[in-house]
Structure 1
Amino acid sequence: MALVYRGPASCNGCSESVATLLRNSPTAFRTQFCGPDEAVDITPAALAKATLYAQPGGGSVNSAWRKMRRYADPIRSFVHQGGHYLGFCLGAYLAGASPGFDLLPGDTDEYVGSPGAQVRTTDDTLIQIRWRGRPRTMYFQDGPLFRLRPGAPAVVLATYDTGAPAAVVAAYGSGRVGAVGPHPEADRSWYDGADLSNPTGIHFDLGYDLVESTMHGAVPPSKS
């Protein structure tokens, strides 16, 4: 079972796209939406029935954090005790510490405006990254980069053109955290809505890799 946040800290359609990605992944999750206006809220009891908690994209980090901070302790405890967290764009920012759930061995930062960044706009656009060393084009909208501590218990799955991590899997206690700046869950409706066309086609293999690496990949153990 995967719990997928849906509520005021997520964007229209983002939660549904993450749920679809999880259901179609090799692990083939059952999914349930959770949040303050859903039948299931984010509580220790609800999380105890899940294997994974997913935080989709949304609006600004500070605004989202005001809505999510009350869930920080249950989410941290869930992951520390062996659960799994997946963060996409805003959800990846919230995996960091300033502000956020503080699940990463380091923190996040805005890629747009970072030294040498190829993307200078916060509008929906395309970005070229290297996933496991291979060039790919992905949907992007002001996603984070990751600043990991040296020797951190983490694996970098993808990098931006600057070499900064674009997708990571890290240990947190007995659990794992997967976080990605671009949007591997973006389906055709995202591209059509933003009047964008991916020259390499719309594929979900990168999202599946993130999911499976978070669930089953080898990550150095956390010392926390």
Structure 2
Amino acid sequence: MNRRRVLFGALPVAALLAVGCGRQALGDEGGRKPLALVYNGPQGCADCAPSVAKVLREAPRPFDVKYVGPGTGVPLDAATLAGAQLYVQPGGGDDLERTWRDLRGSAQVMRDWIRSGGSYLGLCFGGYLAGRDPGFDLLPGDSYGYAGSPGSTVPDDRDTVLEVTWKGESRHMYFQDGPAFRLNDGADATVLATYDNGAAAVIVAPYGKGRIGVSGPHPEADESWYEDAGLSNPDGVRFDLAHELIDTTVGRP
């Protein structure tokens, strides 16, 4: 099994999920970096959390990073979230239901924290979990599988590099069976990127005083992801889109 695999394919959402990828100060004063919590509990993807943690630590405006979740020794609870600016749900394995069993006890705490000013970033698997049934129910709409959806150029769950339109510019991103996002009519959301069929690939939306950022593709993917899958990115392996998504999610200008 691919280490980043999220086996959703093109099944209907209900079937996919049955089988199952207060805001702190921005840290500018006194040289203190804001804290990002990255989920690193059981999820079937050994390098997903470390990859986004590295991007956060090495960003132009860096974060301190702490892993949370089962097995890390740090529970995902109100006390832990209180000290953080950002929570990241990274890519995952092939068992959404298993991960949700570990997370559902924290769902209301998570919603309350974001509503009070926290920020949630969901990448691939974390984008699915920002949706509903099961999920945190954070989106002004819902997530669904892009692969095999009408007009999609990705027929199945294979690792690939796909073209998206990011704020009007053609860019290429690593992709492995990630979600697209269906927004409610009149939803208050910013679509940063779309897939080739026009579906939303990356969005940021308010949630109370906080924000939700989600991406179907993987802007945090480093060289090793491409090498392991025998892929190359025609744009080169760059992290500017990851940095822009992070900054937009936490409300940095």
TM-score w.r.t. structure 2 length?
0.83
Change (3 A) 1:160 1:56: same
State the identity as a percent. Answer: 53
User: Corresponding residue for 1:20?
Assistant: 54
Letter in 2 for 1:113: G
Residues 62-73 of structure 1 aligned to structure 2 (within 5 Å)? 62-73=97-108
Structure 1 residue 216, shift from structure 2 partner: 1.6
8 A Cα contact 1:25 1:211, kept in partner: no
Structure exhibiting the larger radius of gyration computed from Cα positions: 2
Structure 1 unmatched ranges of 5 or more: 219-224
Aligned length: 218
Q: Deviations over 1:148-179 (max 9, x none)?
A: 11211110000000100000001111100000
8 A Cα contact 2:70 2:102, kept in partner: no
8 A Cα contact 1:9 1:67, kept in partner: no
Q: Secondary structure at the match of 1:50?
A: coil
Letter in 1 for 2:209: S
Q: Partners of 1:151 and 1:26 in 2: how far apart? A: 34
Structure 1 residue 101, shift from structure 2 partner: 0.1
8 A Cα contact 1:178 1:214, kept in partner: yes
User: Corresponding residue for 1:53?
Assistant: 87
User: Corresponding residue for 2:67?
Assistant: 33
Q: Partners of 2:172 and 2:97 in 1: how far apart? A: 28
Q: Partners of 2:185 and 2:49 in 1: how far apart? A: 33
Change (3 A) 1:17 1:194: same
User: Corresponding residue for 1:221?
Assistant: none
Q: Deviations over 1:90-148 (max 9, x none)?
A: 00110111220001111001001110100012021111111111111110000000001
1:96 partnered with 2:138: no
8 A Cα contact 2:175 2:217, kept in partner: yes
Letter in 1 for 2:105: R
Q: C-alpha root-mean-square deviation of aligned residues, in Å?
A: 1.3
Q: Partners of 2:89 and 2:56 in 1: how far apart? A: 12
Letter in 2 for 1:47: L
Structure 2 unmatched ranges of 5 or more: 1-34
Structure 1 residue 69, shift from structure 2 partner: 1.4
Q: Partners of 1:104 and 1:169 in 2: how far apart? A: 9
Structure 1 residue 195, shift from structure 2 partner: 1.3
Letter in 1 for 2:197: T
Change (3 A) 1:48 1:99: same
Q: Deviations over 1:27-77 (max 9, x none)?
A: 311101111111311010000010110000002333322232122111111
